Structure 1
Amino acid sequence: MKLIIHGGFFSESLTNQEVKKAKQEALRDIVTKGYEYLQTHTATETVVYTVSLLEDCDLFNAGTGSQIQSDGKIRLSAALMDGKTQKLSGVINVEDIKNPIQVAEKLMAFPDRVLSGTGGQDFAREHGFEHYNPEISQRRQEYEKKLSDSIRLGTVGCVALDAEGNIAAGTSTGGKGFEMPGRVSDSATTAGNYANQFAGISCTGVGEDIVSASVASTIVTRVTDGFTIEAATKKTLDEMKPYDGFAGVIGIAKNGDVFHADTHPYMVWASHDGNVQVFN
């Protein structure tokens, strides 16, 4: 059994040691809880549980503490993919939801599995998800000061390999902050979140760059075709160099190989296979 999570990219690695340490400690705690949960649950159940913990931690840009868009509103996106069934479900740009990954999980049982905007919100309300304001004061202060030059790419994600050999991946984001309303990131698409029986990938970074390279699905396809997850990831990220693509990747292959990589050295991540590793 293996588990790996990420907390996205963050500029504090070089500028704020207190925030850096807090994020590292949060990831250590969450990956430990997620790995314990994995002992008695499936990969898909574990991904939902672990991403929910990440969404509830206001240090990251997903769920509570998400970035505010240019019109002053918070909109959330999340996706879940079960590698065994190869079904992806998700929500795009929904408002006033605490845990969008849980709405994505609920959608897995429906024929229309990816909903956006008010459609996603209406679905959530109809299925018991109460109104919740994910804003925290820090994000409002950043918005009011228009700190668009301070990139806080804190999308969260999780990939799990369970005892039965099944893989699942989940990704959740509040967007990049100050973006144009209606902008769609990679997180709720197969470019940013993908899994099958051979591998699972969750991405973070600049959504437009990740979509341009179809990063997650391309890596998984290459692993399916015989690449190691390391070789598949490196080749895919290399293909982003012509436009200086900004991306980070976490993944697990069917054989148990766990891999992470980024094009810019600021992704924070943690893994657990009986031993915890936390890095940025």
Structure 2
Amino acid sequence: MKIIIHGGFFSESDQSHEVKVAKQNSLKEIATKGFEFLQNHSAEETVVYTVSLLEDDPLFNAGIGSQIQSDGKIRMSASLMNGETQKFSGVINIENVKNPIKVAQVLMKEQDRVLGGEGAKKYALEHGFEDFSTEIPQRRKEYEAKLKNGGKGTVGCVALDNNGKLAAATSTGGKGFEIVGRISDSATVAGNFANQHCAVSCTGVGEDIVSNATAAKIVTRVSDGMSIEKAFEKTFQELKEIDGFAGAIAIDQSGNFFHQDSYPTMVFASFDGIDFEVFD
């Protein structure tokens, strides 16, 4: 059983040392809770639970703390993929929901498993999700001052359960100040993908991740027999060719962790019940 999570990127130029330490501590705490949950739950249930904790933490750009778009509104996206069943579900540009990843989880039982905009919100209300504003004062200040702090942020989790099953979940509050209707990578297989061989969650500039098909490429290459390290190496080399800005976390079916970013510094934490690894 293993778990690895990410919380977007950290820039020394626009975030303080205190924020960095707070993120390190929060990721370690959330990874611990996620691993404890994994003891008695499936990989799919665990990645949803863990990403919901990240959505509930205003330090990260998902759920509470999401970025504000150019028209002053918050729209979020999230997706879930079960490596065993190969089912993918997600919501795109959903508004006024506390935990978009939990809506994606409910959608797993539907034939129509990816919903956007008003349809996603209507579905959430019909399935017991309360109307909830995820805006926090800091994001409004950033919006009004046209600051773009944290604009390359997303949260995600991949897990390997005690039955050897993999799952991946990713959630984002956008990049901030984007054109209304813009779609990120987070609710696509470019940003969130899993099968029985590997699970990957990405963060960074959504357009670059989609252009590179980052998560799907890594998983496909591992499935074809490439080691997880080599799969990352080749995929990130291709990302470099387009000067892409991205980071990714992954676990393969043998329990090997891997993470990489094209520009420093993706914030992440991994835990296998014994050893922690947290970003510097």
* TM-score bracket for the superposition, by shorter chain length: over 0.9
Residues 178 and 14 (structure 1 numbering): CA distance in 2 closer, same or farther, change over 3 Å? closer
Q: 1:258 maps to what in 2?
A: 257
Write out aligned runs for 1:37-186 (5 A): 37-148=37-148, 150-186=149-185
TM superposition shift of 1:154: 2.1
| Gap regions ≥5 residues in structure 1 | none
TM superposition shift of 1:234: 1.2
User: CA–CA distance in 1 between the matches of 2:177 and 2:14?
Assistant: 23
Q: TM-score, normalised by structure 2?
A: 0.98
Corresponding residue SS for 1:8: strand
TM superposition shift of 1:14: 7.5
Amino acid at match of 1:27: L
Determine if contact 1:90/1:114 at 8 Å carries over to the other structure: yes
| Gap regions ≥5 residues in structure 2 | none
TM superposition shift of 1:242: 2.0
Amino acid at match of 1:144: E
TM superposition shift of 1:2: 0.5
TM superposition shift of 1:279: 1.1
Deviation digits for residues 25-61 of structure 1 (CA, Å, limit 9, x no counterpart): 0001000000000000000000000000000000000
Determine if contact 2:151/2:174 at 8 Å carries over to the other structure: no
Determine if contact 2:3/2:271 at 8 Å carries over to the other structure: yes
Amino acid at match of 2:183: V
Deviation digits for residues 117-166 of structure 1 (CA, Å, limit 9, x no counterpart): 00000000000000000000000000000013x44322000000000000
User: Is residue 187 of structure 1 aligned with residue 156 of structure 2?
Assistant: no
Determine if contact 1:13/1:20 at 8 Å carries over to the other structure: no
TM superposition shift of 1:10: 2.1
Determine if contact 1:3/1:161 at 8 Å carries over to the other structure: yes
User: CA–CA distance in 2 between the matches of 1:58 and 1:151?
Assistant: 12
**Number of residues of Structure 1 aligned to a counterpart in Structure 2:** 279
Determine if contact 1:13/1:266 at 8 Å carries over to the other structure: no
User: CA–CA distance in 1 between the matches of 2:196 and 2:67?
Assistant: 34
User: Is residue 196 of structure 1 aligned with residue 179 of structure 2?
Assistant: no
TM superposition shift of 1:11: 1.4
Determine if contact 1:11/1:152 at 8 Å carries over to the other structure: no
User: Is residue 213 of structure 1 aligned with residue 185 of structure 2?
Assistant: no
Amino acid at match of 1:75: R
User: CA–CA distance in 2 between the matches of 1:115 and 1:44?
Assistant: 19
Amino acid at match of 1:107: L
RMSD: 1.0
Determine if contact 2:10/2:264 at 8 Å carries over to the other structure: no
User: CA–CA distance in 1 between the matches of 2:100 and 2:143?
Assistant: 22
TM superposition shift of 1:15: 4.8
Corresponding residue SS for 2:4: strand
Amino acid at match of 1:259: F
Determine if contact 1:10/1:151 at 8 Å carries over to the other structure: yes
Determine if contact 1:12/1:19 at 8 Å carries over to the other structure: no
